[in-house]
Structures are given as structure tokens and as C-alpha cells.
Amino acid sequence: MNAEICELTKNNIDSDAIKRAGEIIKNGGLVVFPTETVYGLGGDGLNPLSSKKIYAAKGRPSDNPLIVHISDIKDIDKIAVDIPKTFYVLAEEFWPGPLTMILKASDNVPRETTGGLDTVAVRFPSHPIAKAFIEAAGSYIAAPSANLSGRPSPTKSSHVIEDLSDRVDMILTCDDIEIGLESTIVDLTAEKPMILRPGFITKEMLEEVLGEVQVDPTLMDANCTARPKAPGMRYRHYAPKGDMILYKGSVQWVKEEIVKATNKAIGEGHKCGIMTAHEDYDYYRDNLPFDEEKLVIVDLGSISNMEAIASNVYKALRYFDTVKADIISSEYFDRHGLGEAVMNRLLKAAGHHIIEEVL
């Protein structure tokens, strides 16, 4: 199968392409589409065969459930039951947008879509192409991120084409993807709302409207032996092909250690990568060889602009693969606010390999 690729922009949504995409979904096919978080790999969320196809296309374990995307909050009653008041409070505040809510699933939703669970993850994305596509499909779109399982989530059309062009029917492209990290997931089925995956909507933002919000303890502590409540958080994920190490400590110590380790690795013949905040970029440039064959340095953006850093993380991880970096050193960022989501992804990418300053 070779996917039809359609380039769209937010201001120029080709209605014929959207119509064709809708038809593909109605016929049980798969369409990749842009959202404000990352690209999604969509199928008909109410068709068990479509969900099976999604797992096969991604190489994803079938116990890792999909998120069901809607384009009108009124449709929630068709997907979920026993909906708590907190759902409506959060939907009013954050939808359409990068927030996924876990609710009790209605019988309409096949267990293939929910990975066998009796709960369902629901999101109403704000990207205009996603909205137009869901409407054209006349159903609800089950979609995980549009990457091969284990690879970093795609935030550029080139990422999707590389991973999936021979595994789906159509790819709708639009690289105007503002956030660049997957949605925040919050579970509303327990007594207290609980964050299962950190994202752009932070704990602080949720608490402002809900009061106390809990966090799945497995997110905070790599040594926690409990099972994460979002099955997807169990798997090694977001990983570049090279070995990644995070350096945590004072700014000066981190810079010096990364320079030392990188020089050593280059001397041993490795191709190195560095992920840095903008503020430290010049230090690495000035203290390491300027040779793209041996070293690439990615400036993620200013430390004072976590949104920029968040939106560049996956692009950077994929870039290291493109240039075949086999040792990647990254700075460790402050976990406050959106920093929590960034560090969650970086810790997974590094398999929790941290070198920490001893004080």
C-alpha cells in the first residue's frame, strides 16, 4: 500500500481531500492527520477491524488502548457512560484542546479500541484539519500517535512518511503543529482525578479548576514498582536509536560534564549529539570540535520558554536518528509546570539513565 499524501494548511483545507479521507475511514481504512499535539494515526473508533489495523500498522501491543477523537462535545454520551461533573468542567475550560479524559466506556465502543478495558480515552482536538476530518468520517476517530511503536512521536510530515507511508491509505499533512507533545491524560473514573500522562495542560492548570488533582505515582518515581494506569506508559517509548544520557546538576557542572563525556566519546569514534537550552549552546560550540561528522548540537530554545523546548523535543530526537548519533547527552530541565511533560518524555527516551552531580 502506498499512501496518498495531501498537503494542507490551516487556512486552506482542501475539502475534496477531507471528503476522500472521510470515505477511507467509512470503508475501514487508515488516515494520518495533524492535531495540535502530534500527528495521529486514525481509524473508525467504532469499527473493531479498524482498530486492529491501527495496532498492526504501528506494531503496537493490542493491550495499549487508543484515544477516541470527537469533534462535538454532544457526542460524548455515545461513547461514555456515568459521566462525572468534572468532565464537563474540564471540557468547558480546555476543549477543544490537548486534554484527554478517561471515562467509563459505553457499549458502542469496541473493546479492540479500548485495549480490552471498560474505560475509554476521549479527546476533542482543536486543530481545524482534525475537526474537519472527524466530521467527514461521520464517526469517532480512534488514534494513537502516528509513529511506529517505540519511535518518537511525529511532529513533521517527514516523520510520518518515514514511518507509515506504506502502512496507511492516506496522509493529511500540515506541519503547523503547535504543541509537539502528546495530550495530557487525566483519569476521571476514580474518586479523585488523576494525571496518567503529563502534557501541555499542567497539574497546576487542572487544579485551578478542579482543586486537588493526583498524579499516577509511577510517573514521579522510576523505581516505583506499581503498574502505570495508562498502559502506554509501561513501554519504552519516545526513544532515539542512540544511547541517551541526562545530566542533572548545577548549570556549570552539567556543561562541563557533557563536554568531557562528548570529547571522550568522539575520541572513541562515536557520533555524538547534544540537546541543550539556548543559553548554553555557545558553551558547547566553543568547547567542542566543530565537525558535523562527529557532533551535532541541537538548541531546543530558551529555558524561559518551555513551550518552545516542548515543541522541539521530538524533532530533536528524530534528528539525532537522521544523522545517526549513537551517544546523545541532554541537559535535565526544571520539572515545574510544562517542564514535567518535557522531562517525562526525556526520561523515557533516556531509559531513565541520569548522571547526577554529587553535592
Query: Contact residues for Mg ion (CB under 5 A)?
Result: 145
Q: Which is nearer to ligand AMP, 245 or 349 (CB)?
A: 349
Environment class of 279 (CB within 10 Å of its CB; exposed 0-12, middle 13-18, buried 19+): middle
Contact 102, 32 (CB under 8 A): no
Candidate residues 136, 185, 317, 343; the one interacting with ligand AMP per rule CB under 6 A: 185
249 binds, among Mg ion, ligand AMP, none (CB under 5 to 8 A by kind): none
355 binds, among ligand AMP, Mg ion, none (CB under 5 to 8 A by kind): none
Neighbours of 326 (CB within 10 A): 15
Stretch that binds ligand AMP, among 11-19, 90-98, 229-237, 261-269 (CB under 6 A): 229-237
User: Contact letters (x/-) for ligand AMP, 136-155, by CB under 6 A?
Assistant: --------xx----------
**What is the signed CA dihedral for 89, 91, 95, 101, rounded to 10 degrees?**
120
CA-based torsion, 283, 285, 288, 294: positive or negative = positive
Q: Which is nearer to ligand AMP, 143 or 266 (CB)?
A: 143
149: cell is 511503536
Candidate residues 117, 210, 259, 355; the one interacting with ligand AMP per rule CB under 6 A: 117
Strands 170-173 and 194-197: unpaired
30 binds, among Mg ion, ligand AMP, none (CB under 5 to 8 A by kind): none
Q: What does 113-152 look like in DSSP terms, one character per residue?
A: TTTT-SEEEEE----HHHHHHHHHHTS-EEE-BSS-TTSP
Q: Helix or strand or coil: residue 299?
A: strand
Stretch that binds ligand AMP, among 64-72, 268-276, 298-306, 318-326 (CB under 6 A): 64-72
Candidate residues 64, 106, 287, 305; the one interacting with ligand AMP per rule CB under 6 A: 64
Which parts of this chain interact with ligand AMP (CB under 6 A)?
A: 64-65, 67, 102, 114, 117, 119-121, 144-145, 182, 185, 196-197, 229-233
